[in-house]
Chains A and B, each alone.
Chain A
Amino acid sequence: MAGLSYVRVEMLPEREPPVSEVGLIGWLKSNLFSGWFNTILTLISLYFIYALVSSILPWLWSPTWAAQSLNECREIVSDLGKEHGGACYGVIRERWQQLLFGFYPDELRWRPILTLILLFVALAPVLFTEAFPAKMLWFTGAFLFLAPWLMWGGVIWTPLLVAAGLVIGFYAFKFSAGAIGNLAAIILAIALPILWWMFAIGPISQGLASIIPFGIEVVESRLFGGFMLSVWIGVVAIAISLFLGVVLALGRQSELMIVKYLSVGFIEFIRGVPLITLLFVASTLLNIFMPPGTNFDIILRVMIMATLFASAYIAEVIRGGLAALPRGQYEAADALGLDYWKSQRLIILPQALKISIPGIVSTFIGLFKDTTLVSIIGLLDPIGLTGSIRADANWNGIIWELYGFIAILFFISCFSMSRYSMWLERKLRKGHQ
């Protein structure tokens, strides 16, 4: 009896799961063929994918890299006996530099490339706060003045003097706050640098340049073009609009009546007007209002308009974040005895900005893509350049190849931005766990 039992005493050995439940077959069964209806849908979808790929791939696979004109492409393709025709990549080979850099002089193209590399260096401590030392933020600050100098060239003194304006503002606030009160000091700290930028910089810069003429070759705005122009307008507008947007959002929530209504008026006005209207104002209307002979750079004008446009939207996104914060957070900040700026900086804004990240990033992506609208006012961004390239008798009639190339450029940029924002959200969410 001893060896007898009614229940199993030893464990059964582990067995492999059935083939139909694991691996590729299992995955297929549970995801694609889990019922007669889903099976039919799967088959139909597979057919559509096949039809799409089988018509696009032969078109994409086209050995026309060396062709010198559209007609040459057509000869190559017809020699191969292709049914659907083939892409003509000769135009990309001949014009990819133009699509990337516009008319920026060949021998100076290292400057926009260097600016782009430095942009990533400058962004690193902002985007990946843990991986890079906070001291790198000093470089980020310097980059704001270095980048325009690299892009446009000129004497080194101008960006240095522009930066000096900020120092003037800072010290004006520091020394006058005690004497004339906070509000007056803030106004002074804003007014002094503006006066400095408007009236003092030109002559001083010229004077310094005549003593120590250190500078790099000037590149005029009209030579800017291609994808570089889109990125340049986009980056500048994004950087400044984030700052302006925070200020406007705080202004809209402010208890000071004039500040509040100025912010509301600005935001509602900009949001009520299409970007293309603002661009037309920049390109045509401003010219008429300015005294004859004034040369106010068209790209600068467009940048200002794009920045103002984006900052209104960013302000509303951030206001959403501010509104989503529980009231207790504001009260807790007050209870700790923090003044307005400290409570915003330490308690309110970090949380509000975190909530607003998806909205901010999608505004940025939208703004970046909207930069292609400048082609309508005659600037040669990639879209504008497609028209110019088609006007070359050799390439007249080429459509898909050019737009495809531009689409890839924009997709890479926008997709990386959206992936970054997802990564950031995940990282910041850990704070709650």
Chain B
Amino acid sequence: MKNSVILGALTVAGFMAGAAQAATLDDVKARGSLKCGSNSGLTGFAAPNANGEWEGFDVAVCRAVAAAVLGDPQAVEFVPTTPKTRFTALASGEVDILSRNTTWTLTRDVDLKFTFVGVNYYDGQGFIVPKALGVSSAKELDGATVCIQTGTTTELNLADFFRVNNISYEPVPIETNAEAQQQYLAGACDTYTTDASGLAATRASFEAPGDHVILPEIISKEPLGPLVRHGDDEWADIVRWTLNALIAAEEFGITSTNIAELSNGTDNPEINRILGTEGTMGEMLGLDAEWAKRAIMAEGNYGEIFEKNIGESTPIGLARGLNAQYKDGGLQYAPPFR
């Protein structure tokens, strides 16, 4: 009897907490700015420039959401988070959205009570080795010393991969990416393993990038995407469909240059629905008709954001690969705007 009273009280408290946190959209509007949990520094994905403005692939998602909700892509407060602090920051309401190269996993979705609204980058764990080592496949790395960041999923993936292939390795634990670069260049380890996007950025920073190769094996799935708290589906919908709008915009050829022209009305009803000249999509989300137009205008469509921050024209030089549109053999596939 006593237990049930306590449970009941807890449930009520839980509901009250839920209710108090429920309307993130109203909070954001009242505050006039979006609080975005970002990485404190990851090449191409999030970093402050010399003027202190945040730039990057993950940052662009937050800017698009701010543009859709508040009409101003600059109305974002970036809260730098570390792998250790990011989830509490989101759960406690310190940030409205976490856009910080976070892998979508079951535990995080279900147990930590977050809602992943989509995937903005499909990553995977790879290896970089010096050419002089003469290795062409990760399966030839038997007995290698491996530089690895501790306390991350990469550590577990590595153990799994070597166990499945029945080969041995010797881990060299390190704390940060910068330290890993130094150790690897100094020859403290034969190979360095982390997400392939990170390896590309690391390799680009070397004095002689040509002396190092990234091995073809990708040993894990790392779908990275923005996430929000459980329990506020309206807010999750807004973030989800903003991301979808960016992806769909690339599919339908809406770019930051032709968007003004296209928003005068086109023959394609889906473009019209995205840009708000037809239908009431914005109203359903609790926003105005031009929400997606502003989101796309903030930093461009998905393809433009990719090219500008991490694409082949940048020093990081990532190919689209899995992140191409489904039409081009990739995985980026926005559900219909209907």
A190-198, A336-344, A383-391, A417-425 - the one binding chain B:
A383-391
Please determine whether B79 and A396 come into contact, CB atoms closer than 8 angstroms: no
Please determine whether A288 and B41 come into contact, CB atoms closer than 8 angstroms: no
Q: Which of A95, A283, A293, A384 is packed against the most chain B CB atoms within 10 Å? A: A283
- The total of chain B residues at the interface (CB under 8 A) is 45
Q: Which of B47, B82, B92, B207 contacts A287 (CB 8 A)?
A: B92
Please determine whether A388 and B20 come into contact, CB atoms closer than 8 angstroms: no
Please determine whether B20 and A98 come into contact, CB atoms closer than 8 angstroms: no
Q: Which of B17, B47, B176 contacts A292 (CB 8 A)?
A: B17
A94 contacts the other chain (CB 8 A): yes
Q: Which of A220, A280, A384 contacts B80 (CB 8 A)?
A: A384
The B-contacting residues of A in range 361-390, CB under 8 angstroms, are: 376-380, 384, 386-390
A83 contacts the other chain (CB 8 A): no
B48-56, B110-118, B218-226 - the one binding chain A:
B48-56
- Residues of A near B48 (CB, < 8 A) are 98, 103, 388
Please determine whether A391 and B43 come into contact, CB atoms closer than 8 angstroms: yes
Please determine whether A95 and B205 come into contact, CB atoms closer than 8 angstroms: no
Known interface pairs A287-B92, A396-B43; A390-B82 also in contact (CB < 8 Å): no
Please determine whether B204 and A378 come into contact, CB atoms closer than 8 angstroms: no
Please determine whether B206 and A391 come into contact, CB atoms closer than 8 angstroms: no
B287 contacts the other chain (CB 8 A): no
Mark each residue of chain A from 281 to 298: 1 if its CB lies under 8 Å from any CB of chain B, else 0. Answer: 001100110111100001
B275 contacts the other chain (CB 8 A): no
A392 contacts the other chain (CB 8 A): yes
- Residues of B near A74 (CB, < 8 A) are 207
What separation, in Å, do the CA atoms of A74 and B207 have in the docked complex? 8
Mark each residue of chain B from 135 to 149: 1 if its CB lies under 8 Å from any CB of chain A, else 0. Answer: 000000000000000
A2 contacts the other chain (CB 8 A): no
Main SS at interface, chain A: helix
- Name which residue of chain A comes closest to B56, CB basis: A391
Please determine whether B17 and A390 come into contact, CB atoms closer than 8 angstroms: no
- Name which residue of chain A comes closest to B93, CB basis: A292
Q: Which of B50, B91, B181 is packed against the most chain A CB atoms within 10 Å? A: B50
- Residues of A near B85 (CB, < 8 A) are 283-284, 377-378
Please determine whether B205 and A388 come into contact, CB atoms closer than 8 angstroms: no
- Residues of A near B42 (CB, < 8 A) are 391
The B-contacting residues of A in range 47-90, CB under 8 angstroms, are: 70, 74
B52 to chain A, nearest CB (A): 4
A213 contacts the other chain (CB 8 A): no
B131 to chain A, nearest CB (A): 18
Please determine whether B204 and A396 come into contact, CB atoms closer than 8 angstroms: yes
Please determine whether B43 and A392 come into contact, CB atoms closer than 8 angstroms: yes
B74 to chain A, nearest CB (A): 13
Please determine whether A391 and B94 come into contact, CB atoms closer than 8 angstroms: no
What separation, in Å, do the CA atoms of A91 and B46 have in the docked complex? 18
- Residues of A near B93 (CB, < 8 A) are 287, 292-293
- Name which residue of chain A comes closest to B314, CB basis: A393
Q: Which of B44, B50, B181 contacts A95 (CB 8 A)?
A: B50
Please determine whether A387 and B81 come into contact, CB atoms closer than 8 angstroms: no
Known interface pairs A291-B20, A396-B205; A388-B47 also in contact (CB < 8 Å): yes
What separation, in Å, do the CA atoms of A284 and B88 have in the docked complex? 6
What separation, in Å, do the CA atoms of A393 and B315 have in the docked complex? 7
- Name which residue of chain B comes closest to A400, CB basis: B182
What separation, in Å, do the CA atoms of A95 and B81 have in the docked complex? 21
Q: Which of B50, B82, B201 contacts A376 (CB 8 A)?
A: B82
A222 to chain B, nearest CB (A): 6
Please determine whether B50 and A98 come into contact, CB atoms closer than 8 angstroms: yes
Q: Which of A94, A222, A392 contacts B79 (CB 8 A)?
A: A222
- Residues of B near A379 (CB, < 8 A) are 80
- Residues of B near A280 (CB, < 8 A) are 84
The count of A-to-B residue pairs whose CB atoms sit within 8 angstroms is 106
What separation, in Å, do the CA atoms of A94 and B47 have in the docked complex? 15
- Name which residue of chain A comes closest to B87, CB basis: A284
What separation, in Å, do the CA atoms of A70 and B176 have in the docked complex? 20
B256 contacts the other chain (CB 8 A): no
What separation, in Å, do the CA atoms of A287 and B89 have in the docked complex? 8
- Residues of A near B44 (CB, < 8 A) are 393
Please determine whether A70 and B46 come into contact, CB atoms closer than 8 angstroms: no
- Residues of A near B52 (CB, < 8 A) are 98, 102-103
- Residues of B near A98 (CB, < 8 A) are 48, 50, 52
A380 to chain B, nearest CB (A): 6
B234 contacts the other chain (CB 8 A): no
- Residues of A near B43 (CB, < 8 A) are 390-393, 396
What separation, in Å, do the CA atoms of A377 and B48 have in the docked complex? 17
B272 contacts the other chain (CB 8 A): no
Known interface pairs A222-B79, A393-B204, A393-B316; A384-B20 also in contact (CB < 8 Å): no
- Name which residue of chain A comes closest to B208, CB basis: A74
Please determine whether B50 and A94 come into contact, CB atoms closer than 8 angstroms: yes
- Residues of A near B40 (CB, < 8 A) are 378, 380, 384, 387-388
A96 to chain B, nearest CB (A): 10
Mark each residue of chain B from 204 to 216: 1 if its CB lies under 8 Å from any CB of chain A, else 0. Answer: 1111000000000
B266 contacts the other chain (CB 8 A): no
A247 contacts the other chain (CB 8 A): no
Please determine whether B21 and A388 come into contact, CB atoms closer than 8 angstroms: no
The A-contacting residues of B in range 69-104, CB under 8 angstroms, are: 77-82, 84-85, 88-89, 91-94
- Residues of A near B207 (CB, < 8 A) are 74
What separation, in Å, do the CA atoms of A386 and B45 have in the docked complex? 16
- Residues of B near A102 (CB, < 8 A) are 52
A20 to chain B, nearest CB (A): 49
B132 contacts the other chain (CB 8 A): no
Mark each residue of chain A from 204 to 248: 1 if its CB lies under 8 Å from any CB of chain B, else 0. Answer: 000000000000000010100000000000000000000000000
- Residues of A near B47 (CB, < 8 A) are 388-389, 391-392
- Residues of A near B46 (CB, < 8 A) are 391
B6 contacts the other chain (CB 8 A): no
B164 contacts the other chain (CB 8 A): no
A113 contacts the other chain (CB 8 A): no
- Residues of B near A397 (CB, < 8 A) are 181, 205-206
What separation, in Å, do the CA atoms of A390 and B45 have in the docked complex? 12
A399 contacts the other chain (CB 8 A): yes
B87 to chain A, nearest CB (A): 9
- Residues of A near B88 (CB, < 8 A) are 283-284, 287-288
The A-contacting residues of B in range 160-178, CB under 8 angstroms, are: 176, 178
B4 to chain A, nearest CB (A): 25
10 sampled A-B residue pairs with Cβ under 8 A: A102-B52, A283-B88, A287-B93, A378-B82, A378-B85, A390-B41, A391-B41, A391-B43, A392-B49, A396-B43
- Given A103-B48, A284-B89, A397-B181, output 15 extra A-B contacts at Cβ < 8 Å: A94-B50, A220-B77, A288-B91, A288-B92, A292-B21, A298-B94, A377-B82, A377-B84, A387-B40, A389-B41, A391-B46, A393-B205, A393-B315, A394-B315, A396-B204
Closest 3 CB pairs of A and B: A287-B92, A391-B41, A397-B205
